[in-house]
Amino acid sequence: MSPALNSPKEIHRWCRNFPGTRAQISEARQFVTSYLGDHLETDTAQLIVSELATNAIRHTRSGLPGGRFGVTLHAGSTLLILAVHDEGGSSTPHLCRAEDEDQSGRGLCLVETLSARWGVHGDNAGRTVWALISLTPADQAA
Ligand SMILES: Nc1ncnc2c1ncn2[C@@H]1O[C@H](COP(=O)(O)OP(=O)(O)OP(=O)(O)O)[C@@H](O)[C@H]1O
Ligand SMILES: [Mg+2]
């Protein structure tokens, strides 16, 4: 775990922008890992950032030539808010219906399952999709 996350009172914020290409999804995962380290929830955070970054590239202008997306982590000792910022588009993030036969439309359902809460800010000019996950405190992780 990052030593910074051991402090019970501090909230830390880390941000990074990425070119909007599929190759950058693994970079975004690595960015998350670099701050959470071997925390119990690191795998969950990696999955969430993968889904949100993939959506930014697939569904927004972030995935067009020259497009970019951003990742922000707000982390304390017991919570993490993971936010992905995109360059907007005509669609709106939404949960797809479970009865749909289509194999796509699962990413945000996964985010909903893995997070305590998730939500969206912004409009067609640019959106932030965020997810909140609880972190196991360092003294309970053993
Ligand atoms: N950042 C975003 N901006 C605009 N629309 C979005 C964004 N993220 C998701 N959406 C919309 O919400 C829908 C549901 O997203 P979700 O991630 O669940 O499914 P998907 O990306 O279509 O497929 P999958 O994630 O299973 O490959 C998308 O089809 C898209 O219309
Ligand atoms: Mg998706």
CATH number, domain at 26?
3.30.565.10
User: Which residue has 């501090």 as its token pair?
Assistant: 10
Residue 99 has pLDDT above 80, yes or no: no
Domain count, the chain: 1
- Smallest CA-to-CA distance from 50 within 81, 85, 25 is with 25
Residue 76 Cα to ligand 1 midpoint, Å, equals 28
- Residue 97 forms part of a structural domain: no
Measured from the CB, is residue 127 less than 6 Å from ligand 1? yes
- Residue 64 forms part of a structural domain: yes
User: What's 134's DSSP letter?
Assistant: E
Residue 108 Cα to ligand 1 midpoint, Å, equals 7
135: amino acid identity, one letter? L
- Residue 100 forms part of a structural domain: no
- For 7-38, what is each residue's pLDDT tens digit? 666 889 999 999 999 999 999 999 999 998 88
- Residue 23 forms part of a structural domain: yes
- Residue 123 forms part of a structural domain: yes
Residue 13 in 3-state DSSP? strand
Model confidence at 77, pLDDT cuts 50, 70, 90, reads confident
- Residue 96 forms part of a structural domain: no
Q: Distance (Å, rounded) from C-alpha 63 to C-alpha 3?
A: 34
Mean pLDDT confidence for 67-89: 96
pLDDT at site 1: 52
pLDDT at site 132: 98
- Residue 5 forms part of a structural domain: no
Give me the domain span that covers residue 78.
13-90+105-140
